[in-house]
Structure 1
Amino acid sequence: MDDKKRIRAFDSCILIIVCLIIFVVGEAEGRAFFVFGDSLVDNGNNNYLLTTARADSYPYGIDYPTHRATGRFSNGLNIPDIISERIGSEPTLPYLSPQLNGERLLVGANFASAGIGILNDTGIQFINIIRISRQLQYFEQYQQRVSALIGVEQAQRLINQALVLITLGGNDFVNNYYLIPFSARSRQFALPDYVVYLISEYRKILVRLYELGARRVLVTGTGPLGCVPAELAQHSRNGECAADLQRASDLFNPQLLQLVNQLNSEIGSNIFISANAFQSNMDFISNPQAYGFVTSKVACCGQGPYNGIGLCTPASNLCPNRDVYAFWDPFHPSERANRLIVETFMIGDTKYMNPMNLSTIMHLDSMT
């Protein structure tokens, strides 16, 4: 073989290798991502609704790449954004965004809406929010739109191979059971019975997700509800976490883990993955300095004790360096805290993730 033929053959091999790499990377990055839940994971759906549960004005988004409010309840990126980063995908758009069409649909969609809970009566004070039943209806609608784009069979494959994140439960306590003294739900249920009821309702939601084709579902428990600045401002004398809300988390999270294990056992496959968001948060709440925070009690943006009163607005106190605050506003972690939480999702041991972490899931799924 002469030199020219060798060069052409070599070039052909290189071209084939490059094409294979592009194909493999494309396949890895092609995994769709769907998000359901509340303000911890809403990336802008509520901007399109007439509701008071909004994060559409300064200083929200101050550290986002555009430095503008996007509807995320964060100074910058939120948990779904960071998961998208880690799995090599572009961020999902809010389902209500007019930009979510054509090829963008294949990335997935974020259906989350600030203020919602497991129960339909959670967050009624916010008036117009996308309750979880409606989020699931939108997911069905999404599938019809994608089927029209790429065909029913390919759409089903996209859904089955997708990663799904669902974050619910916190508002059922903060914006329902404990919203006011002697709320309707607290008169109806003692706390342990209320938790049992929530879990029974959550079961229906997760089963419905499975029926709609979800096969990898990351289910986060509640964070330490009594330790957020809003609760410290109302209930704490010396910076201690609010006992009632901590008890709610302590009751809810183990039962949610039990539900996940039961569902996987019934299905005969590890469809649902439990993420211990309580522990992920408590690590830096109980020892902020070890994680580079100056405080885990005072919100960066807010007013009153612990900056925990009211909303984060242009009139609020605003810290100069968001990276050293565990909480951005009275209820929500800062972007840097969100990054620490996602890190436990990615590589955490069974203390954080059960039955496996997200890196293991990605590895296993890449082999099938």
Structure 2
Amino acid sequence: MASSSIVGVIFSLVLALKYVALQAEARAFFVFGDSLVDSGNNNYLATTARADSPPYGIDYPSHRPTGRFSNGLNIPDLISKRIGSESVLPYLSPELRGQRLLNGANFASAGIGILNDTGVQFINIIRMYRQLEYFQEYQRRARALVGVDQTERLVKGALVLITVGGNDFVNNYYLIPYSARSRQFSVPNYVKYLISEYEKILMKLYKLGARRVLVTGTGPMGCVPAELAMRSTNGGCSAELQRAASLFNPQLVQMLKGLNKKIGNTVFIAANTQQSHLDFISNPQAYGFTTAKTACCGQGPYNGLGLCTAASNLCPNRDLYAFWDAFHPSEKANRLIVEQIYSGTTKYMDPMNLSTIMTLDARA
């Protein structure tokens, strides 16, 4: 027993020293949110919100499905590359231990929203309150490895990404005609309610130690292939969902500015992913796409009905499609979005882009 305890202490010391050395080269990365950023947590859950079968992952380095709702890399993967880190593992992965734990973790879960009643049809998913509980649990695990002080520095020095809100519209308010939320709220009042609930989540994240948080808005929800297939008659975007996005995103930016003012520091950075999407939706050819309406994988009008499965229509060249499936961008589209996050002007990033954040933090 004594010898095993000594080995354990030595192992912890080695990890702590290795962590200190690595801080000069890379930083931890934490990811919260929905299917746009889920890297495989739902693979470990009994839920229908899964991307664990072909052709998902067809362009991933392993050419196998990983739980990412993409043909290849997703937004967290591409941000990791930009900050010089390896992709962080899903929090539920049994491989998330030792040094890999200190790289950070992805807590995101497909189907979730700001509200706990969003995505109820998927049953067993990691709702936002639970993602924050896992973040607390993560910190306890890290403290056991490298101690209290090192863990606090790891978390406060980390980059955080949170992407949530779209499902609160497409998988809640507009899921069925006369849904409970649509009977309770008008669209403007629902947006205000979502923003107020989102603010509570972000403040909880701040209290848990997050100090550099990229907050993405919703994309142009009315323009995804699923909505073109279900709601439009002539291939145009759903006016109702576009109105919801146009209300939600500006109010999100204002809320983030208010939080930063309250805190007295630039903690929350708004990423205008709606604009990034609209760029290639309005002019797909300028970005090398042949279409921003039809999904690469799916069936029905615009390949927008049902799930992407082995029996679906599958395009031969994913780089020509802005959308991979009925709801999610292709890897190429994700790359364009991350480029704007990293180096975009204030049209895309408020008040600064990721490259500026990295420069400022390097001087801190």
Alignment of 1:53-92 (within 5 A): 53-92=49-88
Match of 2:30 in 1: 34
Match of 1:160 in 2: 156
Q: CA separation in 1, counterparts of 2:100 and 2:25?
A: 13
Does 1:312 find its partner at 2:308? yes
Q: Of 326, 329, 336, which residue of structure 2 is paired with 1:333?
A: 329
Code of the aligned partner of 1:247 = R
Q: Of 93, 116, 119, which residue of structure 1 is paired with 2:115?
A: 119
Match of 2:268 in 1: 272
Does 1:227 find its partner at 2:227? no
Code of the aligned partner of 1:184 = A
Give the Å deviation of 1:225: 0.1
Code of the aligned partner of 1:278 = Q
Aligned residues: 347
Give the Å deviation of 1:81: 0.2
Q: CA separation in 2, counterparts of 1:116 and 1:23?
A: 33
TM-score scaled by structure 1? 0.93
* 1:116-151 Cα shifts (integer Å, max 9, x gaps): 000000000000000000000000000000000000
**Alpha carbons 1:29, 1:87 under 8 Å: kept:** no
Match of 2:169 in 1: 173
**Alpha carbons 1:232, 1:308 under 8 Å: kept:** yes
Q: CA separation in 2, counterparts of 1:286 and 1:125?
A: 32
Does 1:108 find its partner at 2:104? yes
Q: CA separation in 1, counterparts of 2:30 and 2:161?
A: 6
Q: Of 255, 259, 264, which residue of structure 2 is paired with 1:259?
A: 255
**Alpha carbons 1:166, 1:217 under 8 Å: kept:** yes
* 1:13-39 Cα shifts (integer Å, max 9, x gaps): xxxxxxxxx999943433000000000
* 1:150-196 Cα shifts (integer Å, max 9, x gaps): 00000000000000000010000000000000000000000000000
Q: Which sections of structure 2, spanning at least 5 residues, go unmatched?
A: 1-17
Match of 2:146 in 1: 150
Code of the aligned partner of 2:309 = T
Match of 1:366 in 2: 362
Give the Å deviation of 1:269: 0.4
State the identity as a percent.
75
Code of the aligned partner of 2:153 = R
Does 1:188 find its partner at 2:184? yes
**Alpha carbons 2:343, 2:355 under 8 Å: kept:** yes
Q: CA separation in 1, counterparts of 2:284 and 2:22?
A: 39
- Other structure's SS at 1:332 match: coil
* 1:206-265 Cα shifts (integer Å, max 9, x gaps): 000000000000000000000000000011222110011001100000000000000000
**Alpha carbons 1:224, 1:249 under 8 Å: kept:** yes
Match of 1:94 in 2: 90
Give the Å deviation of 1:270: 0.2
Does 1:288 find its partner at 2:280? no
Q: CA separation in 1, counterparts of 2:130 and 2:239?
A: 33
Code of the aligned partner of 2:181 = R
**Alpha carbons 1:55, 1:73 under 8 Å: kept:** yes
Q: CA separation in 2, counterparts of 1:337 and 1:282?
A: 11
Q: Which has the larger radius of gyration?
A: 1
TM-score scaled by structure 2? 0.94
Q: CA separation in 2, counterparts of 1:234 and 1:215?
A: 40
Match of 1:129 in 2: 125
Q: CA separation in 1, counterparts of 2:206 and 2:361?
A: 17
Match of 2:213 in 1: 217
Q: CA separation in 2, counterparts of 1:205 and 1:304?
A: 37
- Residue range with higher mean Cα deviation, 353-362 or 235-244: 235-244
**Alpha carbons 1:28, 1:88 under 8 Å: kept:** no
